[in-house]
Amino acid sequence: MDQKKRWGGAFVSEASIHRRRFERVRADIPVRISTIEPDLDPLTGRRYFRASQERCANLSRGGMFVHTHELLDPGRRVLVELSLPDGEQVEAIGRVAWTQYSMRNGSSKDLDCGVGIEFLGGATEQLSALEEFVNRRDHGEIDH
């Protein structure tokens, strides 16, 4: 199993420390994240799945950073559903590579929380549409 390390303000897996294979672009688009393995409710003992609607901050063919307060542990597998601005829908299986929880400007109201998700797989045509979308975007400086 991948070991977790603290790197800057984030907990990351050793695999995610290595250089990125894909260039990232800014992308403020809606994304739905659902857990694949169930959690166990500590009060009822029932299994349940998490799902949340969030915003993607940046994106590449290999993964994305998502602003969320629903932090998941590195290594956790998720279903990612992206709604690209051109109308394309992309579903992919991903893995939480790292989490970030930090305060900007020293204020708890200005939290910068999120997860880095590595894409593990998906339908070839959807991943191709994602790659085309990324290739058409302006490649500005990315801070996550």
CATH number, residue 126: 2.40.10.220
Query: Does residue 142 lie in a domain region?
Result: no
Q: Is residue 12 assigned to a domain?
A: yes
Q: What is the pTM of this model?
A: 0.76
Number of domains in the chain: 1
- The answer to whether residue 128 sits within a structural domain is yes
**Residue 56 and residue 144: Cα distance in Å, rounded?**
11
Task: Write out pLDDT tens, residues 5-50.
Answer: 444 445 555 554 445 577 889 999 999 999 999 999 999 999 999 9
| 45 inside domain | yes
Distance of CA 99 to the CA centre of its chain: 9
How does pLDDT run across 115-135, given as a tens digit for each residue? 999 999 999 999 999 998 998
The residue among 144 and 127 whose pLDDT is bigger is 127
Looking at the domain assignment, is residue 122 inside a domain?
yes
> What's at 64, amino acid-wise?
M
Supply the range of the domain harboring residue 8.
Answer: 4-136
Residue 141 lies in a domain: no
pLDDT 10s digits, 55-95: 999 999 999 999 988 889 999 999 999 999 888 899 999 99
Domain assignment present for residue 92? The answer is: yes
Phi, psi angle pair for 131, to nearest 5°: -65, -40
Q: Is residue 144 part of a domain?
A: no
